[in-house]
Amino acid sequence: MHRILLAAGSAAAFLLFAAPSFAAAIFVSNEKDNTITVLNGDTLEVVKTIKVARRPRGIVVSPDGKELFVAAGDGDIMDVIDTKTLEVSRQLESGPDPELMAIDPKGDVIYIANEDDSLVTIMDIKSGDILAEVPVGVEPEGMGVSPDGKFTVATSESTSMAHVIDNATNKLIANVLVDSRPREAKFTPDGKELWVSSEVGGTISVIDQLRGARCAPGAASAGGHGLHQGRQAAVRAAGAVQSRRRDRRRHQGGQGLHTCRPASLARRNEPRRQEVLRRQRPHQ
């Protein structure tokens, strides 16, 4: 078995697919020329250039390493590449403007961020059947599945939230405010923390106690596009968010979402010291 490294466009963010022996294969999605470049991981020589649908964005490999899934943002399709033959073996109907994707640990289900429709499409990998479509915030981007397969998180760039989906019911159970324009969402190997990177905010938000997260409707509008703040009922179970920045006091909203605001914030002021603070936010 060979190792597989992934890189999306010019982001230079590599993900390692663990496997022993032999040379690594590096897959790079190229948005402008609609191709996937395959590199030898040892020599960095181009092994092959694979033609795919228009504007390939996110790429993710199946848990068994046999298939590579490519989200074609302008093609409204998902190309599936056989990692042994390096050929497109099939296509899946991803929904409009797929961005990033995540696969459950068993390799049965793929979760796709559909940016234009503000949806997460949940699909059976083998059949291509749509299992559910979950409305989330504006411009969903990052996707992450917990190591135990129980939860999926989508980040919405314009709404600045991490949206938590219960994979048993395919229902949205929580919306957690993070910093401006969140992109990637990744769980730690033990599943206890979720790390969300924010492109404009320049921070990493670390969300814990995810299993207790639930949303409650807010009593008052936060202003802008029907986003409500879930005050005390939502605060009780949202978990702690750790950030290098102070809590953001305002937010530009998504359509009809309820905000789960965390009960406490933990700031990492020093590498060896962690300080937990409780803050009461003013009523709006």
Which pLDDT belongs to residue 140?
Answer: 97
- Read off the pLDDT of residues 132-148 as tens digits, 9 standing for 90 and up: 999 999 999 999 999 99
- Read off the pLDDT of residues 106-126 as tens digits, 9 standing for 90 and up: 999 999 999 999 999 999 999
Helix H or strand E segment including 234:
helix 231-235
Distance between CA atoms of residues 98 and 160, nearest Å: 18
Domain ranges of the chain: 142-284
Distance between CA atoms of residues 47 and 148, nearest Å: 35
* Residue 120 · residue 113 · CB < 8 Å: yes
Q: Model's pTM, two decimal places? A: 0.73
* Residue 40 · residue 25 · CB < 8 Å: yes
Across 140-144, 265-269, 270-274, least confident range: 270-274
Distance between CA atoms of residues 231 and 129, nearest Å: 38
- Read off the pLDDT of residues 35-84 as tens digits, 9 standing for 90 and up: 999 999 999 999 999 999 999 999 999 999 999 999 999 999 999 999 99
Of the CA atoms within 13 Å of residue 82, those in its CB half-sphere come to 7
Which pLDDT belongs to residue 208?
Answer: 82
CATH number of 142-284: 2.40.10.480
Lookup result for tokens 């390799």: 107
Could you tell me the two tokens for 233? 């009922």
Distance between CA atoms of residues 15 and 209, nearest Å: 25
